[in-house]
Amino acid sequence: MSELYSLPKGWEWKELQFFGKFIRGVSYKKEQLLESPTNDSFTLLRANNIQNELELDDIQIVPKDVAKGKEIKDGDILFAMSSGSKHLVGKNILLNGLKNYTFGAFCSIYRNQKNNVLNNYYLSYVLKSNLYRDKLSGLSMGANINNLKSSDLEIMKIPLPPLEEQKRIVAKLDNLFAKIDKAIALHQKNCEEADIFMASVLNNVFVELEEKYGLDNIGNMIDILTDYHSNGAYKNLKENVELLDKEDYALMIRATDLENEDYSKNVKYITESAYNYMSKSKVFGGEIILPKIGTIGNVYFMPYLKRPVSLAMNLFMLRCSDKVLNKYMFLFLKSSKGNEDILNKANGAVTKTITKDAVRSIELPFPPIETQQKVVSYLDEISNKMEKIKNLQKEKMQSLKELKASILDKAFKGEL
């Protein structure tokens, strides 16, 4: 990357390789993983551990002899070099205070070997800036990338002020970002309180309906409960259906698409032939969709996408009879009572699963259709108000995040 702009007097552009080196992570076999730490083990970090902060909920343990010479040191910066999740590639985090830690093969660490020239905290801020993001965009030529090469990052040039100026910039950024992060946390809390209020309203409505109308099984209220495998044996499905990354006739709707409410990025497609073959799991909009493995308890209301859509694996799709509004049943399943019922019907200690029969046995209040319509209208009205509140808070959070980016840009031009 060539010099992008003129630097103040005393500053210069320097490649990362001038200060230190990238070290690739360790490879290991599945059978080498340990169940718990020992005196002769390392905790192994992977790409998914790199979030806004270091996430240590999902870690692995390996013997020390698997990772000789690759123990993490204070000041190392961990990079996600390769990942199935494209948004993780290139993410990085400064590490300090970790004892007996190493890192996996899909990661690298950058180890600064000239601390008298480059401050690690200063570098960490550079790697959060648009300067770094632009470098990633340049490597991918505007496309999503799954892999980064150390050789590409080694030649990345960063603006280097004198060491004391680096320390001053870090102190200023620490102070400003602490204030901004506090404001972001407040807006996030407002979003969470809106969700809590909505959950309370949902719960109160369905408790009252249960007291007045009693309960009935979902199985008595639906016309269709289907899934991907309703279309035939696994062997036949494999022969007739292929998931495609390139846009084709029909969208294959997955839980991740519904969770992100994004039906155009990182999605899967199938051909018209495959779509017609899977006639029992065509999705038109307005259906209720439930995960049948893993994230049991999540519930989605299928939007109208104005294009052919088919149901992916590991999901159930429900369509109600004319006795029940789909939206009414969806709202019940989103309530704390509905969620509790779903979880109680699930099997498995670690990986939860739920069967069709279990879904059919879930009970919900069964008022007349006119009452259901009033309930849906009432809850939609409150939900819309809560969404407006949340959207306003999210806009403010986004503005604050953009302010952080702007401050970083100024910092590395000597304008802070």
Q: What is the pLDDT of residues 108-152, one digit of tens each?
A: 999 999 999 999 999 999 999 999 988 887 775 444 557 889 999
pLDDT tens series, the chain, 416 aa: 456 789 999 999 999 999 999 999 999 998 999 988 999 999 999 999 998 889 998 899 999 999 999 999 999 999 999 877 677 889 999 999 999 999 999 999 999 999 999 999 999 999 999 999 888 877 754 445 578 899 999 999 999 999 999 999 999 999 999 999 999 999 999 999 999 999 999 999 999 999 999 999 999 999 999 999 999 998 999 999 999 999 999 999 999 999 999 999 889 999 999 999 999 999 999 999 999 998 999 999 999 999 999 999 999 999 999 999 999 999 999 999 999 999 999 998 778 899 999 999 999 999 999 999 999 999 999 999 999 999 999 999 999 999 999 999 999 999 99
Amino acid found at 339: N
Map residue 143 onto helix, strand or coil: coil
List the structure tokens of 8. Answer: 């103040």
List the structure tokens of 148. Answer: 């980064």
Radius of gyration of the chain (CA): 26
What value does the mean pLDDT of the chain take?
A: 94
The tens digit of pLDDT for each residue in 7-44 reads 999 999 999 999 999 999 999 998 999 988 999 999 99
pTM of the model: 0.80
CB 117 within 8 A of CB 19: yes
What CA–CA distance (Å, rounded) separates 363 from 210?
10
200: Cβ–Cβ under 8 A, 6 or more apart, which residues?
Answer: none
Q: Which residues pair with 43 in a beta bridge?
A: 61, 101
Amino acid found at 69: G
Residue with tokens 């100024």: 410
List the structure tokens of 252. Answer: 């294959």
CB 76 within 8 A of CB 110: yes
Give residue 142's pLDDT: 44
The per-residue b/e assignment along 144-173, b for 16 or more CB within 10 angstroms, e otherwise, is eeeebebeebeebbbbbbeeebbeebbeeb
Alpha-helical (H) ranges within 119-162 are 120-126, 130-140, 150-154
Domain architecture of the chain: domains with CATH = 12-160 (3.90.220.20), 215-365 (3.90.220.20)
In the chain, the N- to C-terminal Cα span, in Å, equals 23
User: Angle at Cα 79 formed by Cα 81 and Cα 30, nearest 5°?
Assistant: 65
What CA–CA distance (Å, rounded) separates 27 from 113?
24
What CA–CA distance (Å, rounded) separates 400 from 395?
9
Map residue 16 onto helix, strand or coil: helix
